[in-house]
Amino acid sequence: MIVSAGNALVRYSLNTSSNAWLEIQWYMFSAAFLLCAAYTLIHNGHVRLDVLFGRWAPRTQAWIDLFGLVFFLLPFTLLITRLSWPMFVESWRIGEISSDPGGLVRWPVKLLIPVGFALLSLQGVSELVKRVAFLKGRIGDPLERHEKVR
C-alpha cells in the first residue's frame, strides 16, 4: 500500500512517474496473490458454493472436497507449475528485463508462478490427506475448526 500510495502521490503531485516503481507495485501484488493462495487453502478461505456446501453433512462436504482436490485443484496446480518452470528458467538464462524504460528484471516475478503453484499443490495434498483421514474416522472434521475461527 505504501508503494502504491507513493506512486500515486508522486504522479499527481510532482507530475512524474517511474516504471520501476510501478512494476515493483505489480510484482508485490503478484507475490501476495501467488504466495498466499496456499495459506488461504489452509484456512478454508477459497470461494465455493457455500450456500449449498454449508447445508450438506460434513462427510458429504469431505467427499466433494476430495473430488475437487483430486480432479481439479491438483491437476491444475501441477500443470501450471510444470508449464511455468521453463518460462522462469529461460527468463533467468537470458537475463530478461522489462521492455519499459527503467523497468525491472523479470525473472523474480516469473519465479513466483511455479513457486506459488507448487506451494498450493503441497497444501492441496495436505488437505487431501485430511479429508481421507476424516472419512476413515481418524480425525475430526477438518473444516470445523475454521468455522469457529471466523
Residues 27-46: pLDDT tens digits? 999 999 999 999 999 988 87
Q: Model confidence over 86-125: pLDDT tens digits?
A: 999 999 999 999 988 888 999 999 999 999 999 999 999 9
Grid cell digits, residue 67: 473430488
Query: What's the pTM?
Result: 0.86
The grid coordinates listed for 142 are 477438518
